[in-house]
Structure 1
Amino acid sequence: MRIGKIQPIDIDVEMRSAYLDYAMSVIVARALPDARDGLKPVHRRILYAMHDMGIRPGTPYKKSARIVGEVLGKYHPHGDAAVYDSMVRLAQDFSMRYLLIDGQGNFGSIDGDSPAAMRYTEARLARISDLMLGDIDKDTVDWGPNFDDSLEEPIVLPAQLPNLLLNGSSGIAVGMATNIPPHNLRELADGIAYLIDHWDHLDEVTVEDLMELISGPDFPTGGLIMGAEGIRSAYATGKGRIIMRGVASIEDTKGGRFRIIVTEIPFQLNKTTLLERIAQLVRDERLDQISDLRDESDREGMRIVIELKRSASPRKVLNQLYKLTPLQSTFGVNLLALVEGEPRLLSLRRALQIYVEHRQEVLTRRTRFELRKAEERAHILEGLRIALEFLDEVIALIRASKSVDEARTGLMTRFNLSEVQAQAILDMQLRRLAALERAKIEAEYQELAARISFLRDLLDHPEKILQIIKTDLLELKEKFGDGRRTQILPDGSGIEDEDVIPQEHVLVTLTQDNFVKRTLARVYRAQGRGGRGVVGMNTRDEDQVVQALSARTLDYVLFFTNKGRIYSERAFNLPDASRTGKGLPIVNFISLPPDERVTAMVAVPDFEHATYVTMATVGGRIKRVQLSEFNAVRPIGIIAMPLEEGDELGWARVTSGEQELILVTERGQALRFDENEVRAMGRTASGVWGIRLAAGDRVTSLDVVEPGADLLVVTPRGFGKRSSLDEYAAKGRYTGGVVTLAQSRLDKDGRIVSSRVVQEDEEVAFFSAGGIALRLRVKDIPRHGRASSGVRLVQLKKDDTVAVMVRLGPAPAVEPAIPTVEPSPLASPLEETASAPA
């Protein structure tokens, strides 16, 4: 190329070339470890520089700044922060499973504290690092020029330790990343020994075989691994997801309270980050059972104390911590390393094989080096032996020579010696002529002869080198090995919803404007008959409660709409709101069209113990469907019951197939009949007639008959009664039924708005259109005859009406005291719960 001449360059070609050069530089020279010694270039240069400086185990510590300067000046022309940070990591017991550098001073902490400046800290090689650098002076590895061609540096270390898997590695290159977990030395030694024993049949060694000896990663911070499935995937393919979990125990304290003690956390988790996350969740009231959080860690070890409230379930809170905080984390294994200068994804067997092959090469080269040195020394000793055998003649020849060259030539000619042998004779000291020294020369020669024979035999039989590798590893296992720190739990130990969500009795309410919420049932206090109730929902926007359901937090809630569709959602996924809270629009949880509204809700603990769902419409049609039809409801809902023009689906109940049903109409008619009179149908069937309605009448409820139960009915103005179900004789389907409330009461207080089958030891709750809620014991409601008029159940304001009645189930055995002060609608949820117990 001539200077001054402009050459056109294709920008696309130039960009590709430049970017690939940069990418390969990052991949090979920075981010990825070599599969043979498990080190990145910066770590290798740090260890070699310290070895070269003589900063070895047992020697005095040297300032870190001096070491960093040596590395920068000779081998690693990058920033001092990059070198010091890498050096610091090699000395952190929470980052490295087996420390390669013995640090003195502040090298950071698991709390995320930064290390002290390099001018304050000191370091030297750890004892185990000698195994990484041992025999490096015996021509065991290749060398290459440093950045300015002024020095030579090792391309790879001899690495008697299987460091790639022993300490692991992590790094982000261009377009790829590596994340290799650390392992236990004892397990790796046993695994490699097994691989060597089956070296001739490597293809037959399976992941299961190796996992019998190498059970999984062993993190320096301990912790738990949840199941072996992710480990098995990582060992088989090089990629896998390992779920890590901290170690925590539950302790009881005085006063019947509990606390959770965390003693180990997942690998690479900052303890301060964990504490901040827990505190934030407590402030956000997502962890509302924690009363105090403190860090009591000291020199003895980690100790995070989480104090719980008196009513808290410690196991549930612990599972919530696992699910909501980094106390349970995922380690994404990506076993990527450089093989012959190229990035390769490795399986466990391949990674161990590369290590063994590297050690084979190292030991072979060391054997050749030692053989060459031994043969050179033996050659000299052979000359000395000849000189001692002809000592007088040798002395005379030397004394007669005029110069050293003449003497050397004379010895070579007379005794057929090489120049090296002749020179050794000339350099021999007079003390070596003593009898004892002559014996030492002979003994040394015999030892060398045996050594040469041994080394030649090694080179002739490579399988013996494999046995040396095995022996060395087993010795390392005994010298540096320790027990596992990380426990591996069986598969299937993960967290399910049932492990995290406390099983509590809640009320699910739905308003006319489709706002849904769940509230703990205990916040609605039980009152006497005729009470005024408490504020159940802030209805300043003239919204009204139209549906309410008693359920448990782990139940499935099935939503049935007026158009015959069904939607499903878990109760705990519905918004948890205070008693006066309005909740959230239901469209946040189910895909409800604008022209559709929920008319019935059913709580299902599971889909195995209940057999059927029976549905009824306001027009008197009824349908029975197997519950399993609704086991997997799509988010957009499915058809539960096709409807005729003008009809609406109004009610749904779970039945067993051997029960009786009772339909109640607005005008006070009740029909009891066997559910088997309604055959089970598919989802697309439209049902059959259930009750014969008079003109202008509508169905107001559907319920299941229970032995010894009563039928409780209520009118819009709060009047009602309960009457024994024995008074309702079973009749055939599609008949008119019998009277259940005096017609005079219907004319005065309006038609029946709701009815439920109840037991005497239970409670019910009434919700008014104005947002008032009243919880009432069934036993406080007088039992009257079927055709009687009833009594006042709820004291309502003049313009308010009962909207819905909910069956709560059995009342608590001991009823808490009822406060005399009415809680303010603006009180906080905690204040409401405290001032208005169940």
Structure 2
Amino acid sequence: MTDATTPGEADERISLKQYTEQAYLNYSMYVILDRALPHVGDGLKPVQRRIVYAMSELGLKVSAKYKKSARTVGDVIGKYHPHGDSASYEAMVLMAQPFSYRYTLIDGQGNWGSPDDPKSFAAMRYTESRLTAYSDVLLSELGQGTVDWEPNFDGTLQEPSVLPARVPNVLLNGTTGIAVGMATDIPPHNLREVVAATVHLLENPKASVADLCEFVLAPDLPTEAEIISPREDIRKMYETGRGSLRMRAVWSKEGGDVVVTALPHQVSGAKVLEQIAAQMQAKKLPMVADLRDESDHENPTRLVIVPRSNRIDLEAMMNHLFATTDLERTYRININVIGIDGRPAVKSLDIILGEWLSFRMVTVRRRLQYRLTKVEERLERLAALLIVFLNVDEVIRIIRTEDEPKPVLIKRFKLSEMQAEYILDTKLRQLARLEEMKILEEKAALEGERDNLQKTLDSARRLKTLVKKELLEAADTYGDERRSPLVSRGEAQAFSETDLLSSDPITVILSEKGWIRAAKGHDIDPHTLSYKAGDKFKLSAQGKTNQNVTLLDSTGRSYALAAHTLPSARGQGEPVTGRLNAPSGATFNGLLMGQDRQRLLLCSDAGYGFVANFGDLYTKNRSGKAALTLPKGARVLPAMVIADPDNDLLAAVSNEGRLLVFPVTELPELARGKGNKIMNIPAARVQSREEFVMGVAVVGAGQALKLNAGKRHLNLKHADLDHYRGERGRRGNKLPRGFQKVDSIEVC
């Protein structure tokens, strides 16, 4: 590139960084102000405003005949909105769908979509449309000097910058839009509630959001589904302009079946049935037997859910469906609008209504001033006509004889230029005596109207009264009852995986080499099952398929496995180490099943232990969790289930033939740790393995303790145990001769 430049060229050069920044900022401002966000005055985005205005220009009022939608779209994109026809038509369709707009602006004829598939509308060449009666609140004052006009995109036509809405439409129909760096999500509201709040703010300008929420209870969407958000959350949403709204479907019980009669806003019944059917196919909804869609013209929403039996808890089932399907839905709220200052901002309810009232007061004042100007012009013309009646011969003479009659008339009768023009344009037949009476009557009526208009313009109170009267008239004409009821409901909870499982008896077996499996029923003898060569039975536990299996290893860590996921006992199972990450060299010494609140005895052969709950041992971690802390040189003893914590006895036997019995209640309840001393054994003797606790047992009322020493057996009935009872932490009493080396301890 050479340095040669033409004069002025260097001044036009800017850096690429500066150019792109400016171009992007311009684009961003265009998207924010002229595409995506609504104006607080009429609540419409530019494309919506242009559609409504173009239809009014085509004469498509509520009383007109329907006209092809393609004609409207052609006018919109050809005159005012130079964008794609499909985008304009989609915006038009949205304003015609009663399930999308709370108060529709367009009355459509043909296929305009359905709640199940809002985008299933026919092409614009097939549908016909006209404006609804409600659109009159936006258009009725348009030609009365109420708003500013601006050139269209090519400068050949004028279009309104905003429509003179007689109600706060920005809240009534709501809108959604995505701009650059910001978005808007405004829900629809009830006309009567919004008008009542607006009137209250008009009379009490310092009213708070809490005061206004006495009138505006919550959004009111075009569906009869329930709004279940707490009132406090709704009030906070109106205070900040941001929040969320939860809606839940309405259902009832009919002959044992569940019938859904109303769905949340913009939720498809077909999609809900698909979501439920998918759970049924995945066997995650065993309590549902069948689904039916019985919706028709008389019942737009009627979804039937057939439970598997009449013992199913329908409330719990529906709570699960609310939590896992679109039968309950949360909507984002972000009240972001372009204010009367032309700037976008997220606004609270009081600011929204306050700015709209400012807009409305200016609009009404401009309308009255416009009408006053027209009345005064008409009175001036009528005064000129009366001059003609009083001096008709002189006026005719001047017109007939003078080459330039206008200046002569102005000088002779002291007229204004406009009055002279009007006299010259008057037809002779208007000079009849009958017309004079009509003129006088019209003059008197107009003078009365002029005085009334002037009084209203001069009085802020009269102006407020007029605005209030027009608001209440609009509410009476177009208002209706709330459609979305406000109901207080609890949080929906989905079923857990175990809740969905059947509760069948099961026996879990663990072999010496760590292979685990599960057999149906509790009448299984684990010793009779087949094991791999060199392997044999080690531990078993009985429980239900919807419970967890708790394992305890030789390091004192606990693990949990879902019982229903274990392999069948028809085979030889699978290594438990494939499912768990136990420390190297660790072996599994405990296998338990039970309810979360079931008490357990955890102890080590160092003579320490404590009472724990099943739930305390549960963990989702494959590496387990620390449950029992082992003193140096100690080993884990098998965990024991405590059936009656208040009355059971704990029996501990040492390898030196001592037995100590005391109530289980003397041990503390802990979630984890070493526990308290069960039997007094010196730590040094435990480390050297000279003395340790050989075994422990939990003995219930009516049960006996059986001690095995080689081929010899000693049965101690419950009453016999009194001889060995002592305080927790003692050495215990010596067993009879021959039982100094006990092999095992059992409860029978």
Q: TM-score per shorter chain, which class?
A: 0.7 to 0.9
Corresponding position of 1:770: none
Corresponding position of 2:91: 86
The whole-number CA distance in structure 2 between the counterparts of 1:215 and 1:695 is 78
Q: Does the Cα contact within 8 Å between 2:552 and 2:590 map onto a contact in 1?
A: yes
Deviations 1:667-698 (A, max 9, x none): 99986422343367896664202488998986
Report the AA paired with residue 231 of structure 1: I
- Say whether 1:329 aligns with 2:329: yes
The whole-number CA distance in structure 1 between the counterparts of 2:249 and 2:504 is 32
- Say whether 1:621 aligns with 2:574: no
**What does 1:515-526 correspond to in 2, within 5 Å?**
524-525=520-521
- Say whether 1:249 aligns with 2:236: no
Deviations 1:791-822 (A, max 9, x none): xxxxxxxxxxxxxxxxxxxxxxxxxxxxxxxx
The whole-number CA distance in structure 2 between the counterparts of 1:621 and 1:516 is 29
Q: Does the Cα contact within 8 Å between 2:558 and 2:618 map onto a contact in 1?
A: no
SS at match of 2:639: strand
Runs of 5+ unmatched residues, structure 1: 253-257, 756-785, 787-838
Deviations 1:140-184 (A, max 9, x none): 111111111111111111122322111111111222221111111
RMSD over aligned Cα atoms:
4.5
Q: Does the Cα contact within 8 Å between 1:560 and 1:649 map onto a contact in 2?
A: no
Match of 2:475 among 463, 474, 477: 477
**What does 1:543-582 correspond to in 2, within 5 Å?**
546=539, 548=541, 550=543, 562-564=554-556, 574=562, 576-577=564-565, 580=568
Q: Does the Cα contact within 8 Å between 2:225 and 2:247 map onto a contact in 1?
A: yes
SS at match of 2:344: strand
- Say whether 1:35 aligns with 2:29: no
Q: Does the Cα contact within 8 Å between 2:190 and 2:220 map onto a contact in 1?
A: yes
Measured at CA, do residues 457 and 604 of structure 1 come closer, stay the same or move farther in structure 2, by a change above 3 Å? farther
Identity %: 33
The whole-number CA distance in structure 1 between the counterparts of 2:85 and 2:132 is 22
The whole-number CA distance in structure 2 between the counterparts of 1:676 and 1:599 is 22
SS at match of 1:402: helix
Corresponding position of 1:836: none
Measured at CA, do residues 22 and 433 of structure 1 come closer, stay the same or move farther in structure 2, by a change above 3 Å? closer
Report the AA paired with residue 157 of structure 1: L
Corresponding position of 1:269: 267
The whole-number CA distance in structure 2 between the counterparts of 1:152 and 1:579 is 78
- Say whether 1:359 aligns with 2:365: no
Report the AA paired with residue 358 of structure 1: F
SS at match of 2:291: strand
Deviations 1:61-87 (A, max 9, x none): 010111111111111111111011111
Q: Does the Cα contact within 8 Å between 1:564 and 1:649 map onto a contact in 2?
A: no
Measured at CA, do residues 371 and 559 of structure 1 come closer, stay the same or move farther in structure 2, by a change above 3 Å? farther
Report the AA paired with residue 471 of structure 1: K
SS at match of 2:400: coil
| Cα drift, residue 435 of structure 1 | 4.9
Measured at CA, do residues 303 and 395 of structure 1 come closer, stay the same or move farther in structure 2, by a change above 3 Å? same
Report the AA paired with residue 312 of structure 1: I
| Cα drift, residue 100 of structure 1 | 0.8
Report the AA paired with residue 318 of structure 1: M
Report the AA paired with residue 35 of structure 1: V
Corresponding position of 1:812: none
Report the AA paired with residue 494 of structure 1: E
Measured at CA, do residues 676 and 361 of structure 1 come closer, stay the same or move farther in structure 2, by a change above 3 Å? same
| Cα drift, residue 504 of structure 1 | 7.2
Measured at CA, do residues 629 and 110 of structure 1 come closer, stay the same or move farther in structure 2, by a change above 3 Å? closer
Corresponding position of 1:25: 30
SS at match of 1:292: strand
Q: Does the Cα contact within 8 Å between 2:668 and 2:675 map onto a contact in 1?
A: no
Corresponding position of 1:660: 648
Corresponding position of 1:825: none
Q: Does the Cα contact within 8 Å between 1:564 and 1:639 map onto a contact in 2?
A: yes
The whole-number CA distance in structure 2 between the counterparts of 1:346 and 1:591 is 55
Measured at CA, do residues 560 and 244 of structure 1 come closer, stay the same or move farther in structure 2, by a change above 3 Å? farther
Report the AA paired with residue 192 of structure 1: T
**What does 1:335-354 correspond to in 2, within 5 Å?**
335-339=335-339, 340-354=341-355
Q: Does the Cα contact within 8 Å between 1:50 and 1:125 map onto a contact in 2?
A: yes
Measured at CA, do residues 414 and 184 of structure 1 come closer, stay the same or move farther in structure 2, by a change above 3 Å? same
Q: Does the Cα contact within 8 Å between 2:149 and 2:158 map onto a contact in 1?
A: yes
Q: Does the Cα contact within 8 Å between 1:165 and 1:181 map onto a contact in 2?
A: yes
Measured at CA, do residues 525 and 579 of structure 1 come closer, stay the same or move farther in structure 2, by a change above 3 Å? farther
Q: Does the Cα contact within 8 Å between 2:285 and 2:500 map onto a contact in 1?
A: no
Q: Does the Cα contact within 8 Å between 2:642 and 2:698 map onto a contact in 1?
A: no
Deviations 1:471-529 (A, max 9, x none): 22222222221222212222x62124689946975779696799999x9xxx94465xx
| Cα drift, residue 187 of structure 1 | 1.2
Of 64-73 and 438-447, more deviation after overlay is shown by: 438-447
| Cα drift, residue 374 of structure 1 | 1.1
| Cα drift, residue 605 of structure 1 | 5.4
Q: Does the Cα contact within 8 Å between 2:522 and 2:542 map onto a contact in 1?
A: no
Of 651-660 and 318-327, more deviation after overlay is shown by: 651-660
The whole-number CA distance in structure 2 between the counterparts of 1:689 and 1:85 is 78
Q: Does the Cα contact within 8 Å between 2:108 and 2:130 map onto a contact in 1?
A: yes
The whole-number CA distance in structure 1 between the counterparts of 2:592 and 2:662 is 23
After TM superposition, the score normalised by the length of structure 2 is 0.82
Match of 2:629 among 623, 628, 642: 642
Q: Does the Cα contact within 8 Å between 1:614 and 1:653 map onto a contact in 2?
A: yes
Report the AA paired with residue 631 of structure 2: E
SS at match of 1:235: helix
Corresponding position of 1:299: 297
- Say whether 1:106 aligns with 2:111: yes
- Say whether 1:494 aligns with 2:500: no
Of 10-19 and 431-440, more deviation after overlay is shown by: 431-440
Corresponding position of 1:382: 383
After TM superposition, the score normalised by the length of structure 1 is 0.74
Corresponding position of 1:424: 422
Measured at CA, do residues 470 and 111 of structure 1 come closer, stay the same or move farther in structure 2, by a change above 3 Å? same
| Cα drift, residue 26 of structure 1 | 1.8
Corresponding position of 1:369: 370
SS at match of 2:470: helix
Q: Does the Cα contact within 8 Å between 2:594 and 2:614 map onto a contact in 1?
A: no
Report the AA paired with residue 66 of structure 1: R
The whole-number CA distance in structure 2 between the counterparts of 1:731 and 1:620 is 16
Corresponding position of 1:119: 125
Match of 1:64 among 69, 90, 108: 69
The whole-number CA distance in structure 2 between the counterparts of 1:592 and 1:710 is 36
- Say whether 1:677 aligns with 2:666: yes
The whole-number CA distance in structure 2 between the counterparts of 1:515 and 1:123 is 73
The whole-number CA distance in structure 2 between the counterparts of 1:295 and 1:538 is 53
Deviations 1:557-605 (A, max 9, x none): 98766544578x9x9xx575477397998998x9976677684668565
The whole-number CA distance in structure 2 between the counterparts of 1:380 and 1:451 is 16
| Cα drift, residue 631 of structure 1 | 12
The whole-number CA distance in structure 2 between the counterparts of 1:617 and 1:600 is 16
The whole-number CA distance in structure 1 between the counterparts of 2:445 and 2:308 is 77
Report the AA paired with residue 286 of structure 1: K
Deviations 1:213-234 (A, max 9, x none): 1111111123122222432232
The whole-number CA distance in structure 1 between the counterparts of 2:72 and 2:8 is 46
Measured at CA, do residues 162 and 400 of structure 1 come closer, stay the same or move farther in structure 2, by a change above 3 Å? closer
Corresponding position of 1:771: none
Corresponding position of 1:651: 639
Q: Does the Cα contact within 8 Å between 1:387 and 1:394 map onto a contact in 2?
A: yes
Measured at CA, do residues 397 and 15 of structure 1 come closer, stay the same or move farther in structure 2, by a change above 3 Å? closer
Measured at CA, do residues 540 and 73 of structure 1 come closer, stay the same or move farther in structure 2, by a change above 3 Å? farther
The whole-number CA distance in structure 1 between the counterparts of 2:418 and 2:477 is 43
SS at match of 2:486: strand
SS at match of 1:477: helix
Deviations 1:28-66 (A, max 9, x none): 222222222111111111111001111110100010111
Of 165-174 and 265-274, more deviation after overlay is shown by: 265-274
Runs of 5+ unmatched residues, structure 2: none
| Cα drift, residue 655 of structure 1 | 9.0
- Say whether 1:238 aligns with 2:238: no
| Cα drift, residue 328 of structure 1 | 1.5
Deviations 1:543-562 (A, max 9, x none): 98856474796x99987665
Corresponding position of 2:725: 731
Report the AA paired with residue 330 of structure 1: T
The whole-number CA distance in structure 1 between the counterparts of 2:307 and 2:270 is 20
Of 357-366 and 722-731, more deviation after overlay is shown by: 722-731
